[in-house]
Amino acid sequence: MCPDNFKTSLLFPLIVLCFSFGKAQEIVELPHENPENIQWADEPNEYYSKIWKTQVVTNVSRPTLEVFRPVGVAPNGTGIIIAPGGGLYALSVNKEGEDVARWLNQKGITAFVLNYRLVPTGKDGVRELETDGEKVGEKVAPILPLAIADGLTAVSYVRENARELGVSPDKIGLMGFSAGGSVTMGVAFNASEDKMPDFLVPVYAWMTIMGEYEVPEEAPPIAVVCASNDLLAQESVKLYAAWQDSGVPAEIHLYSKGGHGFGMLKQN
């Protein structure tokens, strides 16, 4: 269980890194408890994945929140927590994380990149994801609730510290890519009123792993994004339709092309 009062908790030291443009100004370690039956043998590993052709982080056991404040642009009070994707084996920290944060910063939005807990892996978690096959579902099952808990904790942290972070407590959104979209929607399906994001942006969300779901009674507005030639496109349409049928404000943007995992890439 996570402590309710973040200001008195000693579990999330705020580490000031730097204030140069494009870099996280702080990294916050979020309160968490790891189950005894799940062991991470190594420290988190950041490297360039030749398979995905992008920078990734794997083997995360301690969730953190990277703070990106607008530089040279007046903050508009909106805060967005970003959950990168990676099949819960990895985090695509550039094109679905830091690059997104910098793009939001240009619009006056304060961004927070969430490094949520992942499947314990060796040095190359991406390769393990590609080769585990049918084992993926088995390995992901106990990790997804932990990742969702990290998302809930992140929303609470930002809302609890809204004034210090320069955001409005009623303008805190959650944006997630692929497995990060699973985390985003898992937060919405499990949040109490104080932990519910004010809006949701699932981008090509991996919804099949969520099983059957219902739109929460106090669901926030949603903006669904996907590419039509993504194998998960129909799941995105279903998600949008569920919100629409419930009378909750919803919008969807389906690109004609783009595939899965495009993030902030420019594909003409």
Beta-carbon contacts of 215 under 8 Å, excluding residues fewer than 6 positions away, are: 242, 243, 245, 246, 248
Q: Which two tokens stand for residue 151?
A: 């998302």
Q: What is the DSSP letter of 115?
A: E
* Sole residue written with tokens 């944006």: 175
Q: How far is CA 126 from the centre of its chain?
A: 18
Closest CA to 82 of 149, 144, 175, 167: 175
Please state, in angstroms and rounded to a whole number, the distance separating the CA atoms of residues 231 and 208.
Answer: 11
Question: Quick count: other Cβ atoms within 10 Å of Cβ 20?
Answer: 8
pLDDT at position 265, please?
Answer: 85
pLDDT at position 51, please?
Answer: 95
> For residues 229 and 258, is the Cβ–Cβ distance under 8 A?
yes
Q: Which residues pair with 226 in a beta bridge?
A: 254
pLDDT at position 24, please?
Answer: 78
What's the Cα-to-Cα distance from 31 to each of 3, 83, 86, rounded to whole Å? 7, 17, 22
pLDDT at position 46, please?
Answer: 95
pLDDT at position 23, please?
Answer: 65
What's the Cα-to-Cα distance from 235 to each of 56, 92, 148, 246, 254, rounded to whole Å? 25, 21, 19, 17, 12
pLDDT, one tens digit for every residue, the chain (268 residues): 344 443 333 333 333 333 334 567 899 999 999 999 999 988 999 999 999 999 999 999 999 999 999 999 999 999 999 999 999 999 999 999 999 999 999 999 999 999 999 999 998 999 999 999 999 999 999 999 999 999 999 999 999 999 999 999 999 999 999 999 999 999 999 999 999 999 999 999 999 999 999 999 999 999 999 999 999 999 999 999 999 999 999 999 999 999 999 999 887 7
